[in-house]
């Protein structure tokens, strides 16, 4: 500035101004860099204090606003660390999407700073984040992506081992073997080499490569005589031994199943308390079932001995089992054998033990049911059976009361229904009249004549049966003692409604003078209770099953807003419920009706792919509707064709699928094929008047478009002039159109 003042008008003046500008610019950069350093240190302090939310906020702000900061790689690493410490265990608990964000940041670091100081740690974090997704394919790919950064990592052996395990869990046995061979080459002295060698052997076993399995499992036994998997290796070799003996039996050669049983018994004796123990018991049961008659005779065993020994083996497998698969298998195999042998006390004990060991198993309801059945069957006299029935009622009531007020506990409604049915009063037999004493037993006295003519008491009405069952149910559950919250009360109302439905269905159908069944239009208690459930309780009072039930109740009555409330709560608060597909399919139906095809497709696909359940077929046909309405006929046809031949598809859904195929063929100008599908509607789906009527209408229209008016008239006449068809279809809108077409063509 002094130069400018002293030498105005010279070139030096301009140079001085430029120098002033550069100096201000440098001062500004240094000041900004100073701010970045301060923010960085503050963020690090928060991280060291384990205050990772604040650290995350600071590092993120610093990373976004100071792109020229010289320590930018370190800032990014700090942001990754903060996110890592905040990431939940799994994506379904990650509403803020921190796992996905951390993944993205790790990849950004590896791309921009592949030679950075923290590249190894970032690669390990990326692996950890991807593993949280449980997506085996994605996990397999990430190892190939980052292993080059882990050459000097102390965790290298661990990551290589996990890679082998991951491929094994994906059933990609070739890649698993390649990964195992790579592990052996890179870390030959690793302490986890035994794990790798055993996984290598399992790749052959799971591929059913008999010779290679024998070779590798035997090699493992030789190399690791006291190895941690030696019991499992022996069990798998015993399985193959059994397969070899079965092969001999199939060829009519003598087999030695006793050899397999002896090996399993030695495994059980040598490795008690391991998972192999239960596996071996199950294999003993399987082997006894395969034992030939000749070998049984040689061992001095009769068929009843084989049944008993088989049941004993499976029963022990169920008791000793550690995994759901083994326990479920052993229970399913033991129960019919024990039932046939009348060993009811052992069935009770087996399932009681199961309940204690697996209180949260999906098989809990089945176990409770069989405990109840076995207790009743243990009674020999009528008095004992009656006493046992009361015992079962109390047992069921105790099980129900443990969970009735917990909306998250699934299956309570099924237990309640079982209890409700046990409370229905039994039909009382007519009391036998005391015989009159006469000199001649052939002589009929007035007393015996009256006794013989005494009519059986009339059966209890639905109302009488229901009221008695309700009273017994309320008493068992302490409904009037304040034991039930609104959740429990709602469940009780639902079960009472279902109870009355079953009683109402059991009433014999009355016939009119013409011999035809008379439709009972009187008010039903089941309907009144269903309405009470839908109107007296809030969504917060309902379990997943009841949310689905009440939502469907409102949907069928056109109250879509109310229905959506219940479906949305089901999806939001009970994402693990087996009724999730009810919510998704219901919301999909509403979106489809509103022509919100994008949202409808999203809901239907979620139900199909992520939550397949009882509403699977409805979700598939819903998706097919969306594809049809958006003119994706080829995709729609492929989807619908998959439904044909699937016996699990409900008949009404199959009717709609048949109609859709007809409409697709019509769009494709394949009128004869379209006619065949429409004709099938009124020939194969007579139980559904709306689809029958549509079938007649569209089949006739196809004939009209093919200029076969006489054929069309014949179809319309069949619908209109057949008394049974006319009576069944008279209230259907499409039937009115059929009549109109007949009127027009008939003239």
Q: What is the per-residue pLDDT across 194-249, written as a single tens digit (0 to 9) for each?
A: 999 999 999 999 999 999 999 999 999 999 999 999 999 999 999 999 999 999 99
Is 34's pLDDT higher than 80?
Answer: no
pLDDT, averaged across the chain:
88
The pLDDT score that the predictor gives to residue 661 is 96
* Helix-strand-coil split of the chain, %, nearest 5: 75, 0, 25
* CA dihedral sign, ordered 200, 203, 206, 210: negative
The pLDDT score that the predictor gives to residue 481 is 86
Once rounded to an integer, what is the mean pLDDT over residues 671-693? 96
Once rounded to an integer, what is the mean pLDDT over residues 692-698? 96
The pLDDT score that the predictor gives to residue 440 is 57
Q: Return d(Cα 433, Cα 427) in angstroms, integer.
A: 18
The pLDDT score that the predictor gives to residue 26 is 53
Q: Which two tokens stand for residue 578?
A: 């087996």
Residues in the chain: 747
Measuring CA to CA, which residue among 684, 643, 677, 682 is closest to residue 663?
A: 677
The pLDDT score that the predictor gives to residue 574 is 93
Measured CA distances, 16 to 11, 25, 596 (Å): 9, 14, 68
Q: Return d(Cα 471, Cα 420) in angstroms, integer.
A: 10
Question: Which class would CATH give 229-378?
Answer: mainly alpha
* 3-state class (DSSP) for residue 274: coil
Is 69's pLDDT higher than 70?
Answer: yes
Once rounded to an integer, what is the mean pLDDT over residues 54-77? 89
Q: What is the per-residue pLDDT across 89-144, written as a single tens digit (0 to 9) for each?
A: 888 888 889 999 999 999 999 999 988 888 888 888 988 898 888 887 787 788 77
Which range, 167-176, 504-513, 515-524, 530-539, is most confident?
530-539
Number of H helices and E strands in the chain, helices first, is 37, 0
Q: Return d(Cα 84, Cα 75) in angstroms, integer.
A: 14
> φ, ψ for residue 517 (rounded to 5)?
-60, 140
The pLDDT score that the predictor gives to residue 21 is 62
Q: Which two tokens stand for residue 439?
A: 């000199």
Beta carbons within 8 Å of 48's beta carbon, 6+ residues apart? none
The pLDDT score that the predictor gives to residue 323 is 84
pTM as predicted: 0.69
The pLDDT score that the predictor gives to residue 690 is 96
Q: What percent of the chain has pLDDT over 70?
A: 93
Measured between its terminal Cα atoms, the distance across the chain in Å is 109
Q: Return d(Cα 135, Cα 338) in angstroms, integer.
A: 42
Is 316's pLDDT higher than 70?
Answer: yes
Q: Which two tokens stand for residue 698?
A: 């569209």
Is 439's pLDDT higher than 70?
Answer: no
Q: Which two tokens stand for residue 113?
A: 């700073």
Q: Which long-range contacts (CB under 8 A, 24 or more apart) does 673-678 make?
A: 674/698, 674/702, 675/699, 675/702, 675/703, 675/706, 678/702
Distance of CA 53 to the CA centre of its chain: 35
Q: What are the b/e assignments for 461-484, b being 16+ CB within 10 Å?
A: ebeebbeebbebbbebbebeeeeb
* CA dihedral sign, ordered 365, 369, 370, 372: positive
Is 46's pLDDT higher than 60?
Answer: yes
The pLDDT score that the predictor gives to residue 29 is 47
Once rounded to an integer, what is the mean pLDDT over residues 647-658? 94
The pLDDT score that the predictor gives to residue 120 is 86
More confident of the two residues 171 and 456? 171
* 5: Cα within 13 Å, side-chain hemisphere: 2
Q: Return d(Cα 262, Cα 256) in angstroms, integer.
A: 10
Any idea which residue has 């005589």 for tokens? 225
Is 651's pLDDT higher than 50?
Answer: yes
Query: Binning pLDDT at 50, 70 and 90, where does residue 365 land?
Result: confident
Q: Where in the chain is the domain with CATH 1.25.40?
A: 229-378
The pLDDT score that the predictor gives to residue 300 is 94
The pLDDT score that the predictor gives to residue 36 is 81
């Amino acid at each position: 500035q002094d130069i400018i003042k002293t030498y105005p008008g010279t070139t030096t003046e301009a140079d001085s101004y430029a120098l002033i500008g550069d100096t201000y610019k440098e001062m500004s950069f240094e000041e900004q860099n100073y701010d970045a350093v301060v923010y960085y240190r503050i963020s690090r302090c928060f991280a060291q204090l384990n205050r990772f939310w604040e650290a995350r906020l600071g590092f993120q702000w610093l990373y976004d606003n100071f792109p020229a900061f010289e320590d930018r790689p370190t800032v990014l690493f700090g942001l990754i660390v903060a996110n890592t410490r905040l990431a939940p265990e799994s994506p379904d608990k990650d509403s803020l999407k921190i796992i996905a964000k951390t993944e993205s940041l790790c990849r950004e670091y590896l791309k921009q700073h592949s030679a950075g100081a923290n590249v190894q740690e970032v690669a390990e974090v990326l692996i950890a984040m991807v593993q949280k997704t449980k997506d085996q394919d994605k996990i397999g790919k990430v190892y190939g992506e980052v292993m080059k950064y882990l050459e000097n990592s102390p965790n290298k052996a661990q990551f290589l081992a996990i890679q082998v395990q991951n491929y094994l869990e994906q059933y990609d046995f070739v890649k698993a073997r390649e990964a195992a061979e790579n592990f052996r080459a890179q870390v030959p002295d690793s302490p986890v080499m035994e794990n790798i060698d055993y996984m290598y052997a399992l790749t052959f076993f799971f591929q059913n490569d008999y010779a290679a399995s024998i070779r590798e499992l035997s090699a493992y036994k030789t190399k690791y005589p006291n190895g941690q998997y030696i019991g499992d290796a022996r069990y798998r070799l015993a399985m193959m031994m059994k397969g070899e003996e079965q092969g001999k039996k199939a060829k009519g050669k003598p087999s030695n199943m006793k050899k397999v049983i002896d090996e399993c018994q030695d495994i059980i004796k040598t490795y008690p308390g391991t998972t192999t123990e239960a596996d071996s018991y199950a294999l003993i049961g399987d082997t006894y079932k395969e034992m030939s008659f000749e070998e049984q005779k040689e061992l001095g065993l009769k068929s009843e001995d084989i049944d008993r020994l088989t049941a004993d083996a499976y029963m022990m497998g169920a008791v000793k089992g550690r995994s759901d698969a083994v326990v479920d298998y052993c229970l399913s195999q033991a129960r019919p054998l024990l039932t046939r042998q009348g060993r009811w006390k052992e069935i009770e004990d087996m399932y009681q033990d199961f309940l204690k060991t697996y209180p949260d198993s999906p098989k809990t309801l089945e176990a409770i049911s069989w405990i109840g059945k076995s207790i009743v069957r243990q009674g020999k006299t009528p008095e004992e059976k009656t006493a046992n029935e009361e015992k079962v009622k109390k047992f069921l009531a105790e099980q129900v009361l443990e969970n009735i007020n917990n909306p998250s506990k699934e299956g309570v409604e099924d237990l309640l229904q079982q209890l409700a049915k046990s409370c229905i009063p039994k039909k009382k037999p007519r009391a036998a009249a005391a015989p009159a004493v006469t000199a001649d037993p052939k002589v009929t006295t007035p007393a015996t004549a009256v006794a013989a003519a005494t009519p059986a008491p009339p059966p209890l009405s639905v109302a009488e049966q229901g009221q008695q069952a309700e009273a017994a149910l309320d008493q068992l559950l302490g409904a009037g003692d304040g034991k039930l919250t609104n959740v429990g009360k709602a469940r009780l109302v639902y079960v009472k409604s279902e109870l009355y439905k079953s009683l109402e269905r059991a009433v014999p159908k009355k016939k009119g003078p013409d011999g035809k069944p008379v439709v009972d239009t009187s008010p039903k208690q089941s309907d009144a209770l269903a309405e009470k459930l839908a109107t007296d309780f809030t969504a917060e009072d309902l379990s997943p099953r009841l949310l689905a039930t009440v939502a469907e109740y409102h949907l069928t009555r056109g109250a879509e807003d109310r229905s959506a409330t219940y479906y949305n709560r089901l999806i939001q608060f009970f994402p693990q419920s087996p009724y999730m597909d009810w919510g998704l399919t219901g919301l999909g139906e509403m979106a489809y009706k509103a022509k919100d095809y994008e949202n409808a497709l999203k809901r239907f696909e979620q139900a199909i792919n992520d939550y397949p359940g009882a509403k699977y077929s409805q979700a598939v046909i819903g998706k097919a509707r969306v594809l049809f309405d958006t003119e994706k006929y080829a995709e729609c046809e492929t989807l619908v064709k998959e439904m044909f031949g699937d016996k699990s598809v409900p008949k009404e859904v199959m009717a709609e699928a048949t109609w859709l195929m007809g409409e697709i063929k019509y769009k494709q100008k394949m009128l004869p094929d379209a006619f065949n599908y429409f004709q099938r509607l009124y020939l194969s789906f007579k139980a559904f008047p709306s689809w029958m009527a549509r079938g007649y209408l569209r089949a006739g229209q196809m004939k009209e478009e093919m200029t076969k008016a006489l054929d069309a008239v014949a179809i319309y006449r069949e619908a209109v002039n057949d008394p049974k068809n006319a009576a069944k279809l008279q209230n259907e809108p499409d039937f009115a159109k059929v009549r109109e077409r007949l009127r027009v063509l008939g003239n």
